[in-house]
Amino acid sequence: MRKRRRITGFAIPAILAVLFMCLTGCGHVKSAKQLTRLAKREHGSCKVISKNESDEKVTVVLQDKLQGFQYTMTSRMFTLTIDGSSFGSLPETGDGFEKGLKEYALEQAKSGLDQIASRYDASYEAGYGEVLAVFTLPNGKKEETAVKIVEEAAGVFQELNLKKRMDGWIVQAEYDQDWLNDKLAKGELSKELDPDAVSSPGGSAVARHIGSARLPECSFLDKDKEDKDEFTDYAKGFCSAAEYLRKEEKTLADTGLSPDRIDRQFAHLYPQKSSDPVTFYYFSVNDKEFYVCDCINRETGQWVTNYQEAISPRDAKEARKKQGRFHVHINID
């Protein structure tokens, strides 16, 4: 194994300064024409509604021709500052397409969503990021109701999902705070949730979450299926040919990491002691197994995994070759 050359603390700022000087030497804001061209390339045909250009910032308001909503593209310079020292400026491009599409979808879907909420005695609000909407069920409603709600609501959004623009966006369902308070009072929370932590907004959201439906499939996913999909996507980030095998309930000690090496930003989700439970999700690459765990390594900021130790670059390359041959075979037939 090759030794890594150590960079001294004195050398790091110097290297960063040189790097940033190189980067900022040719930095400039994009023109309105460049932003419009970028928008057309990324999102399809559009027309310019308005534009505002200056040396520091350029803003273009565009109208999507396929669905008619407006969105904004921006380009500006921002200052790089490290430990109080400025290293010049770099260009930054802002793309408001997804924001505009989401606002349009919520507006167009409102009537259908209102009907669903009324039919099942639920309420809803816009979600964050890829979450289109979150429905809240009153205490006493069962999970079967959540299944119907998210599948029907996802179906409403799917009708607006032209050219697969909203593929991967989701609708969620959760119980209300009364449900959580009732469960806490009765001591019926699942063991992996810390009763002291669920009183926080983050812990409460985790405890009350029921499931979701993702576009374009629009089929209900419970917590187990959501977790499987999340960790499978993560595993495929290492190697696209990774295949899900199984999951096993073990302990933190089985990862070989001590509790102080686990990120505790969301303490109610992660193990605090070596004997605490951890779920191992197993995958295969070229007939060799590796795992991804549902706890985060504090040093890397990533899910705990043994991919690097278990799978060699050659294994990954061979698996991708087999995957490629398989797809070619299917296409020819």
**Residues facing 73 on adjacent strands:** 60, 95
Whether residue 199 contacts residue 162, with contact meaning beta carbons closer than 8 Å, is answered with no
Helical spans, DSSP H, in 82-199: 97-119, 143-158, 177-186
Between 38 and 190, whose confidence is greater?
A: 38
Average pLDDT, the chain: 85
In the prediction, which pLDDT does 89 show? Answer: 73
In the prediction, which pLDDT does 37 show? Answer: 97
Report how far residue 134's alpha carbon sits from residue 120's, in angstroms, rounded to the nearest whole number.
14
In the prediction, which pLDDT does 197 show? Answer: 66
For the ranges 77-86, 116-125, 267-276, the lowest mean pLDDT is seen at 77-86
In the prediction, which pLDDT does 328 show? Answer: 39
Q: How confident is the model at residue 8 (pLDDT cuts 50, 70, 90)?
A: very low
> Residue 24 above 50 pLDDT?
no
Between 16 and 190, whose confidence is greater?
A: 190
Q: How confident is the model at residue 67 (pLDDT cuts 50, 70, 90)?
A: very high
Report how far residue 124's alpha carbon sits from residue 134's, in angstroms, rounded to the nearest whole number.
5
> Residue 7 above 50 pLDDT?
no
Q: How confident is the model at residue 326 (pLDDT cuts 50, 70, 90)?
A: very low
In the prediction, which pLDDT does 140 show? Answer: 83
The number of angstroms, rounded, from the C-alpha of 150 to the middle of its chain's C-alpha atoms is: 19
DSSP of 151-170, one letter per residue? HHHHHHHHTT-GGGTTTT-E
Ordered by start, the domain boundaries in the chain are 16-95, 100-218, 226-332
Share of the chain above pLDDT 70, in %: 81
Q: Strand 209-214: give its sheet, edge to edge.
A: 123-126, 131-137, 170-175, 209-214, 220-222
For the ranges 13-27, 158-172, 296-310, the lowest mean pLDDT is seen at 13-27
In the prediction, which pLDDT does 189 show? Answer: 74
In the prediction, which pLDDT does 186 show? Answer: 84
Work out whether strand 123-126 and strand 85-95 pair parallel, antiparallel, or are unpaired.
unpaired
In the prediction, which pLDDT does 134 show? Answer: 96
In the prediction, which pLDDT does 77 show? Answer: 84
Share of the chain above pLDDT 90, in %: 61
pLDDT per residue as tens digits for the range 79-101? 766 766 666 778 889 999 999 99
Whether residue 234 contacts residue 240, with contact meaning beta carbons closer than 8 Å, is answered with no
Q: String of b and e for 271-283 (b: at least 16 CB within 10 Å)? A: beeeeeebbbbbb
In the prediction, which pLDDT does 27 show? Answer: 64
> Residue 331 above 70 pLDDT?
no
In the prediction, which pLDDT does 181 show? Answer: 87
Its pTM stands at 0.78
Amino acid in the structure at residue 280: F
In the prediction, which pLDDT does 266 show? Answer: 57
Between 63 and 330, whose confidence is greater?
A: 63
Report residue 139 as tokens.
Answer: 């205490």
> Residue 213 above 80 pLDDT?
yes
> Residue 6 above 50 pLDDT?
no
Between 156 and 270, whose confidence is greater?
A: 156
Q: Return the H-helix or E-strand segment holding 85.
A: strand 85-95
